[in-house]
Structure 1
Amino acid sequence: MHTPIDATTGDVDAERAVIKKIAWRFLPVLILGYLLNYLDRTNIGFAALTMNKDIGLSESHFGFGAGIFFLAYCLFEVPSNMLLFRYGARLWLARIMITWGICSAVMALVVGPYSYYGARLLLGLSEAGFFPGVTFFLSSWFPARYRTSILAWFLLAIPLSSLIGSPLSGSLLYLDGVWGLSGWKWMFLLEGTPTALIGIWALFVLSDNPDTARWLTKQERGLIKNMLAGEQREKPRKDFAAALRDPRVHLLALIQFGFTVGSYGVGIWLPLILKQFLSTPLQIGLVSAIPYAFASIGMLLWARHSDRSGNSLGNLACSCAVGAIGLGFAVFAHGSVSAMASLTVALVGVTAARAIFWAIPGRIMTGMGAAAGFAYINCIAALGGFAGPYVIGWAKEKTGSFSTGLGVMGLILVITVLLVLPLHHFRKQARTAAATAS
């Protein structure tokens, strides 16, 4: 695991050792939890290969239901993170994992469009707050100079969920008829149930702050507290209202909306896009894993480069631009090879953007403002998770092609690149103000 070295921080070896110890304590359970979290969101694309016909879903029905998850997610996103701040990340993150595991398994009971909508609604409500909650939790433990790399390892769960989950989901569909259940029902049951067990594990592994971390020595607790305290003194503490008055927070929300549109639009519809070229669920699952293998490697390398360069905004703009270029080529792709190559480039870009992006909000918000502000940003961005799948489904139904929807998502990513420019302006203003004050 990469951790950058800053020789100005004192005992570099001791610092790196405690950061590594904390990372190995927290990241396995959080990565596995988020892997299942993302899998529970996107496995609906594999279920659609047989579920849509079984329960009578049209393409617009499916796209709306896939997206309504994110509307429900938005409704409870900010309240969930405010409760996390009140009751502690350890308890609240475990609660989220346990309830969403149950709701994911309930997807096996849907029988038509309305029960499908209802189950997706419950799943969105139960998962609300998990990602921004983890982001807030990690920003409370890891100093900024380590944060992009740590977040990249956590966010590795996203491409891994497709790298591992795509072949797994495709394979589980072959359980069709076992004990009288359809293959897509087995998929929801077997992929949803383990999440509750991960939630129980989290109760024993996570700690809300260094003072409650008895698995750290007294010296290690003091070292990490000193690192975090020095960083906190450099940032004003903000409540939620103050965070909402900061234009940078709204810009960040719009930026994440942009690359979320591309991420979920491609991720959820990829199995059905590949169905045009491939014949069996297992083939679709195996081929779907290819772009996520490249996205996993690309995200880790790009996050390391961003940490080393110290230019997170420039790297964020470049990663979104790469996503836009990939989607642009996908519009004109003919055949499975060119389509897969284009979508792979797009997924490398939008996946890297996630890791780079989430190191930025923690530099301008702290305390309750950070907990609620992270949730607000993710709430607005989650609308992209609704827009992406729905736009592609609507465009496919109207035009008979996926190209129009992919083109719209590419255009949104171009706009996203432009939205990064004002953040550069705000950063320059802050540096000028700091230099004048000194």
Structure 2
Amino acid sequence: MTTHSTGHGTDDTHRIATLKAMQKLIPLMCAIYFMSYLDRTNVALAKAQLAADLGISAAAYGLGAGIFFIGYALLEVPSNLAAHRVGPRRWIARIAVTWGALSAAMMFVKGEYSFYAIRVLLGIAEAGLFPALMYMVTLWFAPKDRPVAVGWIYTAPAIALVIGNPLGGALMQLDGTGGLHGWQWMFLLEGLPTIVVGVLLYFKLPERPRDARWLSPAEARSLETHAVIDTHGDADLSSANWIAALKRPSTILIGLIYFLNQVAFVGLVFFTPAMIQQMHVKTPIVVGLLSSSVGIGFLLGVLILPRIHRRMKGDCLYLGVLTAGLVASGLAFIASTSPVVQIALFVATAFFGGGVLPSYWAIAMKRLQGIQAAAGLAFINTIGLIGGFVGPYVFGMAETASGKSASGFTVVVAAAVLGLVLVPLLAKAIRLEARPDALGQPALEVDA
């Protein structure tokens, strides 16, 4: 991709504008993604209570935890095309309000089938949120700044895991208050604030640099030029235009590697509290505190690894090293019998499994722009969401078969090994697509 800087003045303008965008835009994007992850994963803390109060088994819980991603995945591409047409501000606000209401409605679960139903509806309501955020990144930030921007956005779910698990554990201490179970209070008090955040975003989130009052006209133009922006809503929405992005081998392979990552990482997130409980920890708030080890590793990963990636030329080599790190941490956990060491390995596994996520999106964004970015990023996320369904379900099956939640780490290792095998294929696909005649268009970026 060509940089449009013509002098030091232009460079300085873009640098200042990028810093302003990071400071003003990223906190708003983080706020909504924080709430989405809090509402999506708080069910992990309720696993034992749902079993005791409603008779929901480990396998049924795994299915319900994962089935969220089916509804999410089915509407991911259509939802992001809608975001491209009507503008991400309106669409993200709509998503937040509807899913916040449904998250609060989890308090009305009565058994397995109502658990499944609300989880599916929750996924449908949230469909398109993350790719809409990623689409906004392509509208605001130059390719070289996107790994860091996405890394900052990923601090939101990491912090949600660090704060959310102890918070959820504390809210479940309200058990019996007002005649409600603790898990009912948790769903209610974590769902309602999401509606408030959605309304706030409608009034505060600018869609494009030119809409931001805190940017000068020159700064807005600089951001749009460096981002190679296209005006959403005006691009050709014909199937031939956006389906081309879905056919690219690099798009498909990034999606498959992301799928395997999500099998491992989402399964780990949903089953960490159960693993902690099987270490003979019974108090909900202590379970929550120890479970936040995954969030700590995730947070360290997204703060450190994107900055290393920013300085790396070989995208796929870097991706391979991080995936190998996930394999190593998973194997170390399986080999360990010490609870203290295992908790440390929760941190290490999340560091690699979560810290690699911004790199997937940065690699994809280099090769997708405009309507193709809206469709292609949503398609990659759809494939990953299916992994988010498969992961908890397979973890649940592993626990049912062995009686031990920690047996899910065999799933972590298997998925990471398969992902490592696909990385060289991605590098080859990127090199082939870089040829000027490969896709009937100008050469794409390599950095494979």
Structure 1: which 5+ residue stretches go unaligned?
none
Cα pair 1:265 1:389 within 8 Å, conserved:
yes
Q: Which residue number in structure 1 is paired with residue 135 of structure 2?
A: 136
**2:411 aligned with 1:414, yes or no?**
no
- Which residue is 2:179 aligned to? 180
Provide the residue aligned with 2:446 in structure 1.
Answer: none
Indicate conservation of the 8 Å contact 1:332/1:403, yes or no: no
Change (3 A) 1:121 1:309: same
Looking at structure 2, the residues matched to 16 and 68 of structure 1 have their Cα atoms a distance apart, in angstroms, of 43
Offset at residue 344 of structure 1 (A) = 1.8
Aligned to 1:397: 400
CA distance in 2, matches of 1:305, 1:7: 24
Aligned equivalent of 2:125: 126
Residue type of the alignment partner of 1:323:
L
Given that 2:278 and 2:404 are in contact with CA atoms closer than 8 Å, whether structure 1 keeps it comes out as no
CA distance in 1, matches of 2:400, 2:430: 44
* Residue of structure 1 equivalent to 2:268: 266
Partner of 1:219: 218
Most deviating of 368-377 and 61-70: 368-377
Alpha-carbon distance change, 9 to 98 in structure 1, aligned in 2, over 3 angstroms: farther
CA distance in 2 between counterparts of 1:46 and 1:403 reads: 16
State whether residues 260 and 387 of structure 2, in contact with CA within 8 Å, keep that contact through their aligned partners in structure 1. yes
State the secondary structure of the residue aligned to 2:311: helix
- Partner residue of 1:256? 258
Deviations 1:188-235, CA, capped at 9 Å, x for gaps: 011111011111111122222223333321121222222223999xxx
1:311 CA drift (Å): 3.1
Q: Are the equivalent residues in 1 in contact too, given 2:265–2:412 (CA < 8 A)? A: no
Partner in structure 2 of residue 346 of structure 1: 349
- Deviation (angstroms), 1:6: 11
Answer yes or no: is the 8 Å Cα contact 1:103–1:123 preserved in 2.
Answer: yes
Q: Indicate the larger mover: 106-115 or 41-50.
A: 41-50
2:188 maps to which residue?
189
Confirm or deny that 1:293 pairs with 2:292.
Answer: no
2:22 aligns to what? 23
Residues 142-172 of structure 1 deviation map (CA, whole Å, 9 limit, x = unaligned): 0101000010000111211110101101111
Question: Separation in 1 of the partners of 2:124 and 2:7?
Answer: 42
| CA deviation profile, 1:257-278 (whole Å, cap 9, x unmatched) | 0111111111000001100121
In structure 1, the residue corresponding to 2:362 is in which secondary structure? Answer: coil
Within a 5 Å distance, the mapping from 1:160-171 to structure 2 comes to 160-171=159-170
Question: What residue is the counterpart of 2:374 in the other structure?
Answer: 371
Structure 2 residue 45 is the aligned partner of structure 1 residue 46: yes
User: Tell me, what secondary structure is at the counterpart of 1:94?
Assistant: helix
Distance in 2 separating the partners of 1:375 and 1:73 = 11
2:339 corresponding residue in structure 1: 336
> Where does residue 243 of structure 1 map in the other structure?
245
The one-letter amino acid paired with 2:424 is L
Displacement of 1:425:
1.9
Structure 1 partner of 2:285 = 282
| Alpha-carbon distance change, 287 to 6 in structure 1, aligned in 2, over 3 angstroms | farther
Aligned residue type for 1:247: P
State TM-score, norm by structure 2: 0.91
User: Secondary structure of 1:309's partner?
Assistant: coil
* Amino acid aligned to 2:179: G
Q: What is the TM-score with the length of structure 1 in the denominator?
A: 0.93
Q: Name the amino acid aligned to 2:41.
A: T
Alpha-carbon distance in 1 for matches of 2:62, 2:297: 26
CA separation in 2, counterparts of 1:62 and 1:41?
14
Residues 8, 411 of structure 1: alpha-carbon distance in 2 compared, 3 angstrom cutoff: farther
CA contact (8 A) 2:138 2:229 kept: no
Distance 2:214 2:112 in 1: 49
1:89-128 aligned at under 5 Å gives the runs: 89-128=88-127
Letter matched to residue 225 of structure 2: N
Residue 327 of structure 1: how far off its partner (Å) = 1.6
Query: What letter is aligned with 2:258?
Result: Q
3-state SS of paired residue (1:334):
coil
Distance 1:231 1:372, change over 3 A: closer
* Percent identical: 34
The change in CA–CA distance for 1:130 and 1:334 in structure 2 (over 3 A counts) is: same
Change (3 A) 1:190 1:141: same
Assess, with a 3 A threshold, how the Cα gap between structure 1 residues 66 and 433 changes in structure 2: closer, same or farther: same
Amino acid at match of 2:373: A
Q: How many residues are treated as equivalent by the alignment?
A: 429
Q: 1:33–1:195: 8 Å Cα contact kept in structure 2? A: yes
Give the conservation status (yes or no) of the 8 Å contact 2:268–2:408: no
Are residue 316 (structure 1) and residue 319 (structure 2) matched? yes
C-alpha spacing 1:180/1:150, structure 2 compared with 1 (3 Å): same
Q: Which residue of 2 aligns with 1:151?
A: 150
Asked whether the equivalents of residues 66 and 390 of structure 2 are also in contact (C-alpha less than 8 Å), the reply is yes
Give the Cα separation in 1 of the matches to 2:396 and 2:405: 8
In structure 2, what is the Cα distance between the partners aligned to 1:210 and 1:45?
38
Q: What is the RMSD computed on CA atoms of the aligned residues?
A: 2.3
Contact 1:312 1:357 in 2 (8 A): no
1:239 and 1:367 in contact (8 A); partners too: no
